[in-house]
Amino acid sequence: MVGEGAYSKVYQAVCKDTGEVVALKNISKKYTDSQYFQQEVEAMLYIQERGGHPRVITLHEHFEDGDSYVLILDFIRGGELFDHLIEMGAYSEMDASRIVREVASALLFLHGIGLVHADLKPENILLTTTRRGDSVVKVADFGTAIFVGNDSDTTVTNKNKLQPEKVYGAPTPAYSPPESILRTSPIQPSMDMWSLGVILFIMLTGCHPYDVSGESTDVEIEDRIKDTKYKIPINDPGIAGHLSKSAKDLITKLMNRDCTKRLTAYQMLQHPWVQGE
Protein backbone atom coordinates (compact mmCIF):
# COMPACT_ATOMS: atom_id res chain seq x y z
CA MET A 1 0.00 0.00 0.00
CA VAL A 2 1.36 3.43 -0.98
CA GLY A 3 -1.38 5.64 0.44
CA GLU A 4 -4.50 5.67 2.55
CA GLY A 5 -7.32 8.16 2.92
CA ALA A 6 -10.49 8.34 4.95
CA TYR A 7 -12.43 6.37 2.35
CA SER A 8 -9.85 4.53 0.27
CA LYS A 9 -6.54 2.72 0.05
CA VAL A 10 -4.09 3.08 -2.82
CA TYR A 11 -1.78 0.32 -3.98
CA GLN A 12 0.98 0.16 -6.56
CA ALA A 13 0.30 -2.48 -9.18
CA VAL A 14 1.61 -3.66 -12.53
CA CYS A 15 -0.53 -4.29 -15.60
CA LYS A 16 0.10 -7.85 -16.74
CA ASP A 17 -0.52 -7.02 -20.41
CA THR A 18 1.68 -3.93 -20.72
CA GLY A 19 3.99 -4.01 -17.70
CA GLU A 20 2.91 -0.45 -16.89
CA VAL A 21 2.99 0.59 -13.25
CA VAL A 22 -0.43 1.88 -12.18
CA ALA A 23 -2.21 2.97 -9.03
CA LEU A 24 -5.02 0.77 -7.77
CA LYS A 25 -7.47 2.82 -5.69
CA ASN A 26 -9.71 0.61 -3.56
CA ILE A 27 -12.85 2.33 -2.19
CA SER A 28 -15.37 0.74 0.14
CA LYS A 29 -18.82 0.52 -1.46
CA LYS A 30 -20.38 2.24 1.52
CA TYR A 31 -18.74 5.44 0.28
CA THR A 32 -19.33 5.03 -3.46
CA ASP A 33 -22.90 6.30 -3.39
CA SER A 34 -21.66 9.79 -2.54
CA GLN A 35 -22.15 12.53 -5.13
CA TYR A 36 -18.44 13.35 -4.94
CA PHE A 37 -17.40 9.84 -5.92
CA GLN A 38 -19.98 9.51 -8.68
CA GLN A 39 -19.02 12.92 -10.05
CA GLU A 40 -15.33 12.04 -10.15
CA VAL A 41 -15.87 8.76 -12.00
CA GLU A 42 -18.28 10.25 -14.53
CA ALA A 43 -16.02 13.23 -15.18
CA MET A 44 -12.99 10.99 -15.75
CA LEU A 45 -14.94 8.69 -18.04
CA TYR A 46 -16.08 11.72 -20.03
CA ILE A 47 -12.49 12.97 -20.25
CA GLN A 48 -11.36 9.61 -21.59
CA GLU A 49 -14.20 9.52 -24.11
CA ARG A 50 -12.93 12.83 -25.43
CA GLY A 51 -9.43 11.43 -25.90
CA GLY A 52 -7.83 12.39 -22.59
CA HIS A 53 -4.88 14.73 -22.13
CA PRO A 54 -1.24 14.02 -21.15
CA ARG A 55 -1.48 16.52 -18.27
CA VAL A 56 -4.70 15.07 -16.84
CA ILE A 57 -4.64 11.88 -14.77
CA THR A 58 -6.00 8.88 -16.68
CA LEU A 59 -8.67 6.49 -15.46
CA HIS A 60 -7.58 3.27 -17.17
CA GLU A 61 -10.30 1.01 -15.83
CA HIS A 62 -12.88 0.68 -13.09
CA PHE A 63 -14.67 -2.35 -11.67
CA GLU A 64 -16.33 -3.83 -8.61
CA ASP A 65 -14.51 -6.27 -6.36
CA GLY A 66 -16.64 -7.67 -3.56
CA ASP A 67 -17.34 -4.88 -1.09
CA SER A 68 -15.13 -2.41 -2.91
CA TYR A 69 -15.04 -0.30 -6.03
CA VAL A 70 -11.67 -0.21 -7.76
CA LEU A 71 -10.19 2.54 -9.94
CA ILE A 72 -7.06 1.91 -12.00
CA LEU A 73 -5.24 5.23 -12.41
CA ASP A 74 -1.87 6.62 -13.47
CA PHE A 75 0.75 5.97 -10.80
CA ILE A 76 2.24 9.35 -9.91
CA ARG A 77 5.53 9.01 -8.04
CA GLY A 78 6.29 12.63 -7.17
CA GLY A 79 3.29 13.41 -4.99
CA GLU A 80 1.31 16.62 -4.66
CA LEU A 81 2.48 20.12 -5.52
CA PHE A 82 1.30 21.01 -2.01
CA ASP A 83 3.89 18.70 -0.45
CA HIS A 84 6.64 20.08 -2.70
CA LEU A 85 5.82 23.60 -1.52
CA ILE A 86 5.79 22.58 2.14
CA GLU A 87 9.07 20.69 1.91
CA MET A 88 11.06 22.91 -0.46
CA GLY A 89 9.42 26.33 -0.39
CA ALA A 90 8.89 28.75 -3.25
CA TYR A 91 9.76 27.94 -6.86
CA SER A 92 12.04 29.84 -9.19
CA GLU A 93 10.21 31.67 -11.95
CA MET A 94 11.65 29.27 -14.52
CA ASP A 95 10.40 26.12 -12.76
CA ALA A 96 7.07 27.69 -11.83
CA SER A 97 6.50 28.82 -15.41
CA ARG A 98 6.89 25.31 -16.74
CA ILE A 99 4.53 23.85 -14.12
CA VAL A 100 1.73 26.39 -14.62
CA ARG A 101 2.13 26.16 -18.40
CA GLU A 102 1.35 22.44 -18.15
CA VAL A 103 -1.61 23.09 -15.86
CA ALA A 104 -2.92 25.75 -18.25
CA SER A 105 -2.58 23.26 -21.10
CA ALA A 106 -4.73 20.79 -19.14
CA LEU A 107 -7.29 23.51 -18.43
CA LEU A 108 -7.41 24.52 -22.09
CA PHE A 109 -8.36 20.93 -22.90
CA LEU A 110 -10.88 20.61 -20.07
CA HIS A 111 -12.57 23.92 -20.82
CA GLY A 112 -12.59 23.02 -24.49
CA ILE A 113 -14.68 19.91 -23.79
CA GLY A 114 -16.98 21.87 -21.48
CA LEU A 115 -15.58 20.86 -18.10
CA VAL A 116 -14.61 23.10 -15.20
CA HIS A 117 -12.40 21.44 -12.59
CA ALA A 118 -13.87 23.76 -9.90
CA ASP A 119 -11.45 22.74 -7.14
CA LEU A 120 -7.98 23.45 -8.48
CA LYS A 121 -5.40 23.68 -5.67
CA PRO A 122 -1.88 22.43 -4.94
CA GLU A 123 -3.26 19.19 -3.46
CA ASN A 124 -4.89 18.36 -6.82
CA ILE A 125 -1.82 18.97 -8.95
CA LEU A 126 0.37 15.88 -8.98
CA LEU A 127 4.01 15.75 -10.07
CA THR A 128 5.70 12.74 -11.62
CA THR A 129 9.01 13.17 -9.76
CA THR A 130 10.37 14.98 -6.71
CA ARG A 131 12.91 16.81 -8.91
CA ARG A 132 11.65 20.28 -9.71
CA GLY A 133 13.57 20.61 -12.91
CA ASP A 134 11.89 17.77 -14.77
CA SER A 135 8.59 16.92 -13.03
CA VAL A 136 5.57 16.49 -15.29
CA VAL A 137 2.14 17.67 -14.13
CA LYS A 138 -1.00 15.58 -13.80
CA VAL A 139 -4.19 17.39 -12.82
CA ALA A 140 -6.31 15.14 -10.61
CA ASP A 141 -9.39 14.96 -8.36
CA PHE A 142 -12.53 15.63 -10.40
CA GLY A 143 -15.06 15.11 -7.62
CA THR A 144 -16.49 18.60 -8.04
CA ALA A 145 -16.05 18.94 -11.81
CA ILE A 146 -18.90 20.73 -13.55
CA PHE A 147 -20.08 20.34 -17.15
CA VAL A 148 -20.82 23.79 -18.54
CA GLY A 149 -20.37 23.31 -22.27
CA ASN A 150 -22.78 22.83 -25.13
CA ASP A 151 -21.21 19.72 -26.58
CA SER A 152 -23.35 18.39 -29.43
CA ASP A 153 -21.37 15.15 -29.86
CA THR A 154 -24.05 12.48 -29.42
CA THR A 155 -21.41 9.71 -29.16
CA VAL A 156 -20.32 11.08 -25.78
CA THR A 157 -22.54 9.59 -23.08
CA ASN A 158 -21.07 10.46 -19.70
CA LYS A 159 -21.52 14.22 -19.99
CA ASN A 160 -25.24 13.68 -19.39
CA LYS A 161 -24.50 12.21 -15.95
CA LEU A 162 -22.49 15.20 -14.77
CA GLN A 163 -23.99 18.02 -12.76
CA PRO A 164 -26.19 20.41 -14.78
CA GLU A 165 -25.23 23.90 -15.80
CA LYS A 166 -25.48 26.91 -13.47
CA VAL A 167 -24.01 25.33 -10.36
CA TYR A 168 -23.04 27.78 -7.64
CA GLY A 169 -20.49 27.37 -4.88
CA ALA A 170 -16.87 27.31 -3.77
CA PRO A 171 -15.58 23.80 -2.92
CA THR A 172 -12.35 25.22 -1.44
CA PRO A 173 -12.91 28.92 -0.64
CA ALA A 174 -9.20 29.76 -0.26
CA TYR A 175 -8.74 29.02 -3.98
CA SER A 176 -12.13 30.28 -5.15
CA PRO A 177 -12.87 33.68 -6.74
CA PRO A 178 -15.15 36.29 -5.18
CA GLU A 179 -18.10 35.52 -7.45
CA SER A 180 -18.08 31.86 -6.38
CA ILE A 181 -17.92 32.62 -2.66
CA LEU A 182 -20.60 35.31 -2.98
CA ARG A 183 -22.61 33.06 -5.33
CA THR A 184 -23.16 35.96 -7.71
CA SER A 185 -22.10 33.89 -10.70
CA PRO A 186 -22.29 30.17 -11.49
CA ILE A 187 -19.17 28.05 -11.71
CA GLN A 188 -17.45 28.64 -15.06
CA PRO A 189 -13.96 28.26 -16.59
CA SER A 190 -12.81 31.61 -15.19
CA MET A 191 -13.02 30.03 -11.72
CA ASP A 192 -10.18 27.66 -12.58
CA MET A 193 -8.09 30.55 -13.87
CA TRP A 194 -8.44 32.47 -10.60
CA SER A 195 -7.41 29.32 -8.73
CA LEU A 196 -4.33 28.96 -10.91
CA GLY A 197 -3.46 32.60 -10.18
CA VAL A 198 -3.59 31.89 -6.44
CA ILE A 199 -1.44 28.79 -6.93
CA LEU A 200 1.11 30.73 -8.96
CA PHE A 201 1.31 33.43 -6.28
CA ILE A 202 2.01 30.75 -3.67
CA MET A 203 4.58 29.01 -5.87
CA LEU A 204 6.56 32.23 -6.38
CA THR A 205 6.26 33.79 -2.92
CA GLY A 206 5.76 30.88 -0.55
CA CYS A 207 2.61 32.41 0.95
CA HIS A 208 -1.09 32.63 0.18
CA PRO A 209 -2.24 36.01 -1.19
CA TYR A 210 -5.11 36.10 1.31
CA ASP A 211 -3.23 34.53 4.22
CA VAL A 212 0.31 35.86 4.22
CA SER A 213 0.95 34.82 7.82
CA GLY A 214 -0.42 31.31 7.29
CA GLU A 215 -2.42 31.67 10.48
CA SER A 216 -5.78 32.97 9.22
CA THR A 217 -9.01 31.05 9.65
CA ASP A 218 -11.08 29.95 6.67
CA VAL A 219 -13.63 32.64 7.51
CA GLU A 220 -10.95 35.36 7.58
CA ILE A 221 -9.63 34.24 4.19
CA GLU A 222 -13.13 34.23 2.70
CA ASP A 223 -13.80 37.71 4.08
CA ARG A 224 -10.64 39.08 2.46
CA ILE A 225 -11.52 37.51 -0.89
CA LYS A 226 -14.99 39.07 -0.73
CA ASP A 227 -13.64 42.46 0.35
CA THR A 228 -13.26 44.68 -2.72
CA LYS A 229 -10.91 46.96 -0.78
CA TYR A 230 -8.42 44.20 0.02
CA LYS A 231 -5.46 44.13 -2.35
CA ILE A 232 -3.25 41.08 -2.69
CA PRO A 233 0.38 41.92 -1.74
CA ILE A 234 1.67 41.68 -5.29
CA ASN A 235 3.52 44.99 -4.90
CA ASP A 236 4.76 44.40 -1.35
CA PRO A 237 8.58 44.46 -1.62
CA GLY A 238 8.94 42.11 1.33
CA ILE A 239 6.74 39.46 -0.28
CA ALA A 240 6.88 39.91 -4.02
CA GLY A 241 9.78 42.33 -4.51
CA HIS A 242 11.87 39.63 -6.17
CA LEU A 243 9.29 38.89 -8.86
CA SER A 244 9.61 40.09 -12.42
CA LYS A 245 7.10 42.59 -13.80
CA SER A 246 5.88 39.96 -16.22
CA ALA A 247 5.15 37.46 -13.43
CA LYS A 248 3.25 40.11 -11.48
CA ASP A 249 1.31 41.06 -14.59
CA LEU A 250 0.22 37.46 -15.16
CA ILE A 251 -0.90 36.96 -11.56
CA THR A 252 -2.83 40.23 -11.64
CA LYS A 253 -4.62 39.26 -14.84
CA LEU A 254 -5.46 35.78 -13.56
CA MET A 255 -6.81 37.20 -10.30
CA ASN A 256 -8.90 39.97 -11.82
CA ARG A 257 -11.98 40.34 -9.63
CA ASP A 258 -14.05 40.81 -12.78
CA CYS A 259 -14.44 37.26 -14.08
CA THR A 260 -15.29 38.53 -17.57
CA LYS A 261 -11.83 40.16 -17.81
CA ARG A 262 -9.85 37.28 -16.31
CA LEU A 263 -7.41 35.55 -18.65
CA THR A 264 -8.61 32.36 -20.32
CA ALA A 265 -6.38 29.29 -20.47
CA TYR A 266 -5.58 30.10 -24.09
CA GLN A 267 -4.69 33.70 -23.29
CA MET A 268 -2.53 32.59 -20.39
CA LEU A 269 -0.56 30.26 -22.65
CA GLN A 270 0.15 33.25 -24.91
CA HIS A 271 1.38 35.44 -22.05
CA PRO A 272 5.06 36.45 -22.38
CA TRP A 273 5.96 35.09 -18.93
CA VAL A 274 4.54 31.66 -19.76
CA GLN A 275 6.23 31.82 -23.17
CA GLY A 276 9.56 32.47 -21.45
CA GLU A 277 10.03 35.89 -23.02
* Whole-number Å distance between alpha carbons of 151 and 4: 36
Which residues, listed in sequence order, are joined to residue 23 by a DSSP beta bridge? 12, 73
Among all residues, which ones are annotated catalytic? 119
Tell me whether residue 248 is annotated as binding: no
| Helix (H), strand (E) counts: the chain | 10, 9
* Whole-number Å distance between alpha carbons of 184 and 19: 49
- Residue burial 123-146, b: 16+ Cβ < 10 Å; e: rest: ebbbbbeeebeebebbbbbbbbbb
- Rounded to 10 deg, the angle between the 93-112 and 189-205 helix axes is 170
> Residue 143 in contact with residue 172, Cβ under 8 Å?
no
* Whole-number Å distance between alpha carbons of 261 and 255: 10
> Residue 23 in contact with residue 73, Cβ under 8 Å?
yes
> Which residue numbers belong to the known binding site?
25
Q: Which residues are annotated as a binding site for ATP?
A: 25
